[in-house]
Structure 1
Amino acid sequence: MRKRPLIILSTVAAATLLLAGCSGSADPEATGTPSPDAAQTSCLADLKSGAGSDAVTVDGTGAAAKVTVPEGTEMVAAERSVVVEGDGDEVLPGDLVSLRYQLVDATTNEVLSSSERGQDGVLAALLPQQQPQQIVDPTQSTVFTVAAECLPVGSSIVLTLPAAQEGMHASVLYVETIEHLPTTATGSDVDATEGMPAVELDDAGSPSITIPEGEAPAETEVATLKEGDGAVVASGDLVTVQYRGVKWSDGSEFDSSWSRDAAPAQFQTTSVVTGFKLALEGQKVGSQVVVVMPPKDGYGEGEINEADLVGESLVFVVDILATTPLEQPAQ
């Protein structure tokens, strides 16, 4: 199977979410689930609070939040309690939001995973739109959707996750949502680079690409179309992007996030073809770039084969929406 330009990551460590700082300390409230009408039309799970989620305490906010599960607390079902309800727009499945999180062992109170791996403890998260097969599985990124869905931005939430099987511990996911993120590049326009494909955007920001006359370049070339002012993408980062890919040979599209309900995609820069990696690393969030790559930096040299893009020079237009380091910086 060919190496695609993007791979959707489904682990907690790779999920992207951000969270607003709230003042003070609080115990979860027994109320705070979304209204019945909103849940019926938009929410994947519409989880209710219960004895398990209500027992969890949270002291502090942001990176300093201390999540504690009292000894003897039973967690037999997935439950959700709201610690603080925000005042922003409602978060819905499919949204791109920023957040912080902690995944805590419900027996030992050990922090198993957290967004502190990211810059300033903040992640950018694309909330999956599909129903999770197992709400109790903390390795699935859909648990973030179940935690944050149908609540205002700025909310902090605890979600109880019962043990998936005998011998394992239950866990608690604590999430703070910060803000909705844009789904198109927001940077300043940059003058077109001579010899590169021409790019035009429709009202939604979806690009159309016109291939110039002549042969494709022998080396990968990258040009900036919009210059962002966000964080710089580093090697190995988890990036969130919109993109469209076409063949240099005939301009036909072969892959595009815009053709999938304009849903942004997430992947690690080290999991894509070389030309796509070169287009991303060193760029700032908010930028839009166009990259032209020869077969050696795409899907390989050889006789052109439409099924796997071997032998094709490729063009991508990419909107860089967010980036998250996946490793802690060296101490």
Structure 2
Amino acid sequence: MKHRTLRGVAALTLGAALVLSGCASEGGGSGDETSSSPSATDGASDAATSSPEDVAALESITVTGDPGAEPSLEFEQPFEVSGAAAISLNDGEGEEIAKGQQITMHTAAFSGADGSKLGSTWETESPEQLIIDDSLFPQLLDVVVGKKVGTRFLFANPTTDQTTGEPVTYLTVAEVTEVKTIPSRAEGEAVTPAEGLPTVTLDDTGKPTIEIPEGYEAPAELVAQTLIKGDGPVVTEDQTVTAHYTGMLLDGTVFDSSWDRGAPTSFSLQQVIPGWTQGLAGQTVGSQVLLVIPSELGYGAQGSGSIPADSPLVFVVDILDAQ
């Protein structure tokens, strides 16, 4: 799914840079009309552990800065590694981090080519949320799982510069500020939907299947039908939401599904298509929502990847968390 990240290399300041390539559909989804999908580049096939040479290269970097403040990096340029690599900078002193939990973290990204800073969530005061699961580089799991809130890590990723097309290594330094366990599916009171809408059935895990009624025509206005009413706080349009979702065209083609990837995702409601912002704001955490989105509130005349131009979209979204 295309979501939440900024354009170009600035996206590497965010959690999307830490997610394995291939974890998101190239066809788009709820996402940001201006951003790239959260692929993490060419290191996805690397072994689960960082190579000794790459670890030594990371250990040669000087990281300075007080806990809670943005750190600075000093290193010889150009900085290069052979594959994705990560090292832990400290253990942290807060709650222990376990696989499957959601962390909140601050990140700053730097170019290995010239040392320039590409972006920082410390500067924007917008920490990111990330689910600690197998969608991440395994090298990251090695340095996060079992650590505690307050831990810092350093991650290096060889990739291709999105502007020049040249090989480059990006460096991301991160500090975990919070950890929490979130539900795996929507939970609450079932709501009887209006007649004539696409129907949704759930398997034992909560994964939805969507059936489009024969002859169904997309409405002219957004439909946001609550299917399960959660008892959490009301979602506002300025929040970052963690959700499981499935997206479908009216011909029944599923173009994106976090369920198929095996992990929910987090995204800002300020950086997704308008149908998501308008349809999820005002819902409650824990809810499941059916969205039928007119083309003009989706990807419009330009389409996106496997989504044709002027396509209405159907989504089922489980709202698991909002911050």
TM-score normalized by structure 1? 0.57
The C-alpha deviation readout for 1:203-261, integer Å capped at 9, x for no partner, is 1211011223443322111101122233433334333222111222x3232222222x3
Confirm whether residue 219 of structure 1 aligns to residue 218 of structure 2: no
CA contact (8 A) 2:245 2:315 kept: yes
Return 5+ residue gaps in structure 1 as ranges.
16-40, 59-64, 104-111, 133-144, 163-169, 325-331
Question: What displacement does 1:174 show?
Answer: 3.5
Structure-2 residue corresponding to 1:247: 249
Preserved CA contact (<8 Å) 1:53 1:79 = no
- Shift in Å at residue 317 of structure 1? 0.5
Looking at structure 2, the residues matched to 54 and 102 of structure 1 have their Cα atoms a distance apart, in angstroms, of 13
SS at 1:229 equivalent: coil
- Name which of structure 1's ranges 201-210 and 229-238 shifts more when overlaid on structure 2: 229-238
Aligned-residue identity in percent:
29
Aligned to 2:93: 84
Higher CA-based Rg: 1
Structure 1 counterpart of 2:317? 318
Q: Which residue of 2 aligns with 1:99?
A: 104
Give the whole-Å Cα distance in 2 for the aligned partners of 1:8 and 1:227: 25
Q: Which amino acid aligns with 1:185?
A: A
Q: Helix, strand or coil for the counterpart of 2:279?
A: helix
8 Å CA contact retained: 1:233, 1:282: yes
Distance in 2 (alpha carbons) for counterparts of 1:305 and 1:155: 38
Q: Is the 8 A contact 1:115 1:123 kept in 2?
A: no
Give 1:277 deviation, angstroms. 2.6
> How far does residue 316 in structure 1 lie from its aligned partner after superposition?
0.7
- Residue 151 of structure 1 corresponds to which residue in structure 2? 146
* Structure 2 residues without counterparts, runs of 5 or longer: 6-10, 17-46, 77-85, 109-119, 157-170
Please say if residues 239 and 320 of structure 1, whose CA atoms lie closer than 8 Å, have aligned partners that are also in contact.
yes
| TM-score relative to the length of structure 2 | 0.59
Number of residue-to-residue matches in the alignment = 254
1:102-141 mapped onto 2 (5 Å cutoff): 113-114=121-122, 117=125, 124-127=129-132, 129-130=136-137
C-alpha contact (below 8 Å) 1:102/1:115 kept by paired residues:
no
Q: Report SS of the residue matched to 1:296.
A: helix
Q: Give the RMSD, CA atoms, in angstroms.
A: 4.8
User: Partners of 1:228 and 1:68 in 2: how far apart?
Assistant: 39
**For 1:270-285, what aligned pairs fall within 5 Å after superposition?**
270-285=270-285
1:53-68 alignment, distance < 5 Å: none
Given residue 292 of structure 1, which amino acid in structure 2 is its aligned partner? V
Cα–Cα, structure 1 residues 270 and 306, in superposed 2: closer, same or farther, change >3 Å? closer
Paired with 2:232 and 2:128, the residues of 1 have a C-alpha distance of 13
Amino acid of the structure 1 residue aligned with 2:136: Q
User: Kindly tell me: are residues 123 and 266 of structure 1, through their superposed partners in 2, closer, same or farther at Cα, counting changes over 3 Å?
Assistant: closer
Distance 2:66 2:151 in 1: 11
Q: 2-side partners of 1:313 and 1:55: how far apart? A: 50
